[in-house]
A and B are shown apart, each in its own frame.
Chain A
Amino acid sequence: MSSRSDDNNEMMPRPQPQPTYDPADFLRESGIEDASPELLLLLAELPRLAEQPSRPSAELVQLWRPRGRRKRRHHALVSGAAAIVLALTASGAAAAARHRPTSPIQPAPTSSSAGPRSGHPVRPGGSSAALHPSLTRTALPTSSSDRSGPDLGPTESDSPKPTGSDRSEPRETDSPEPSGSRHPEPDDSPSAPRSDGAEPSRPAPTPDRTSRPG
């Protein structure tokens, strides 16, 4: 007999007791060579009696289920709580990410990714068009550049102003062009004519050496 550890490592038998059972082999093993077809049929039918019972009795199930039920309930509670925490964390992070405003110093890569600032109406069609209004006011800023809303007071770095009335006046920062770019001034062009009509300064012409007397 093999050792206990070897036996414990054995695979459990499959539900069908003899999946490779061959009646002819069994008869040969028993020393019967001339088997009738009826006997072969009977031996083929016999293993079919071994089928899965309809279900274990309640008494039998009680023997192995009590501890399992408690474990399953405990696991269900833990996994449910974990799912709630994960959902809350994910929704909070998503809301904060959507709500983070763009600063003039670091503009957002695309206009659609920039969320609405508080005080502005949510533009329909934008990325935060479906955002609930309450969510747009709950996210807290993470840095001074993230401050939004008039409650904190405007600062120099907060321009453009978040109020809607200020939008009526054009500002430099409202220009679609980058703040560092300027239209070229006429004076900047070296070849542009002066406003007084004088010719632009040119280097003095050198005297023609061929016309030198003598």
Chain B
Amino acid sequence: MLEAARRGNPFAIEQLYRSFSPGVLGYFRARGAGDPEASTNDVFIAVLGRLPQLVGGTTGLRKLIYTIAHARLIDDYRRRQRQPVELAFTPDTDDRTVPSAEQDALTRVAEQRIAGLLARLPDDQAEAVTLRIVSGLSLAQTAAVLGRSEGAVKQLQRRGLLRLRELLGAAEVTR
């Protein structure tokens, strides 16, 4: 499949997108990106341009995808610090559908709550937890994306989880 995608097979590329895009979208959602779907599309536009030069098979592809996603997330943070978020919305061309207003509201609440909790972690800890749990990367893959050793990622993951437990306990006490 990957080799066919490298040769430009449309079906293989579409399959590749459908296989990897949920993890990327979840990564952007968990990390509180401004427009997770747009960022996901940007990642795959960049990935498709680099497919012919890809080495390392599926492992290399996963590393490439999340390295680009990580870079896009930092770009998104910086951009939002510089200027307020402006999203162009044209109802006539927007054909996205949602299940229902209630479901959308619940999803957004959960998403914002998770993103809010992760945002209170140090960035490298939040990154390690998100890549491991939301995107489903292994220790080695997370280490490759973050440019750290596997042991370092394991420590980041542990500290991040302990911090989350504290935050959740504090929230429960104040409730």
Binding site for B on A (CB under 8 A): 1-2, 4-8, 10, 12-18, 21, 26-27, 30-32, 35-36, 38-39, 42-43, 45-57, 59-60, 63-65, 67-68, 71
Residues of B within 8 A of A16 (CB): 22
- CA of A18 to CA of B134 in the docked complex: distance in angstroms? 8
**Smallest CB-CB separation from A54: which chain B residue?**
B96
> Is there an interface contact between B57 and A39, defined as CB atoms closer than 8 Å?
no
| Also in contact, A15 and B38, with CB within 8 A (given A49-B29, A50-B23) | no
| Also in contact, A12 and B15, with CB within 8 A (given A30-B157, A30-B158, A49-B29) | yes
**Smallest CB-CB separation from A27: which chain B residue?**
B161
> Is there an interface contact between A67 and B134, defined as CB atoms closer than 8 Å?
no
- CA of A39 to CA of B23 in the docked complex: distance in angstroms? 21
Residues of A within 8 A of B172 (CB): 38
**Closest Cβ–Cβ distance, residue A89 to chain B (whole Å):** 32
> Is there an interface contact between B58 and A26, defined as CB atoms closer than 8 Å?
no
User: Given B1, B133, B161, B164, which contacts A18 in the complex, CB threshold below 8 Å?
Assistant: B133
**Smallest CB-CB separation from A52: which chain B residue?**
B22
Scan B1-45; emit 1 where CB is below 8 A from any A CB, else 0.
Answer: 111000010110111111111110111011000000110110011
- CA of A17 to CA of B132 in the docked complex: distance in angstroms? 10
- CA of A43 to CA of B134 in the docked complex: distance in angstroms? 9
**Smallest CB-CB separation from B13: which chain A residue?**
A64
> Is there an interface contact between B22 and A51, defined as CB atoms closer than 8 Å?
yes
Question: Which interface residue of B2, B17, B57, B162 has the most chain A CB atoms within 10 A?
Answer: B57
User: Given A13, A36, A54, A64, which contacts B48 in the complex, CB threshold below 8 Å?
Assistant: A64
- CA of A30 to CA of B132 in the docked complex: distance in angstroms? 11
> Is there an interface contact between B22 and A63, defined as CB atoms closer than 8 Å?
no
> Is there an interface contact between B25 and A4, defined as CB atoms closer than 8 Å?
no
> Is there an interface contact between A49 and B41, defined as CB atoms closer than 8 Å?
no
The yes or no answer to B55 lying at the interface (CB within 8 A) is yes
**Closest Cβ–Cβ distance, residue B97 to chain A (whole Å):** 7
Residues of B within 8 A of A45 (CB): 110, 114
Residues of A within 8 A of B136 (CB): 13, 17-18, 21, 47, 50
> Is there an interface contact between B41 and A60, defined as CB atoms closer than 8 Å?
yes
**Closest Cβ–Cβ distance, residue B8 to chain A (whole Å):** 7
- CA of A27 to CA of B132 in the docked complex: distance in angstroms? 12
The yes or no answer to B135 lying at the interface (CB within 8 A) is yes
**Closest Cβ–Cβ distance, residue A66 to chain B (whole Å):** 8
**Closest Cβ–Cβ distance, residue B90 to chain A (whole Å):** 12
Residues of A within 8 A of B171 (CB): 38
| Also in contact, A26 and B56, with CB within 8 A (given A39-B161, A47-B26) | no
Scan B51-94; emit 1 where CB is below 8 A from any A CB, else 0.
Answer: 00001111110000000000000000000000000000000000
> Is there an interface contact between B114 and A51, defined as CB atoms closer than 8 Å?
no
User: Given B27, B40, B57, B129, which contacts A7 in the complex, CB threshold below 8 Å?
Assistant: B57
> Is there an interface contact between B44 and A1, defined as CB atoms closer than 8 Å?
no
**Smallest CB-CB separation from A65: which chain B residue?**
B10
**Smallest CB-CB separation from A17: which chain B residue?**
B136
User: Given B14, B45, B114, B158, which contacts A31 in the complex, CB threshold below 8 Å?
Assistant: B158
> Is there an interface contact between B165 and A50, defined as CB atoms closer than 8 Å?
no
**Smallest CB-CB separation from A62: which chain B residue?**
B45
| Also in contact, A36 and B165, with CB within 8 A (given A15-B18, A26-B133, A50-B135) | yes
| Also in contact, A55 and B96, with CB within 8 A (given A7-B56, A39-B165, A65-B10) | yes
**Smallest CB-CB separation from A16: which chain B residue?**
B22
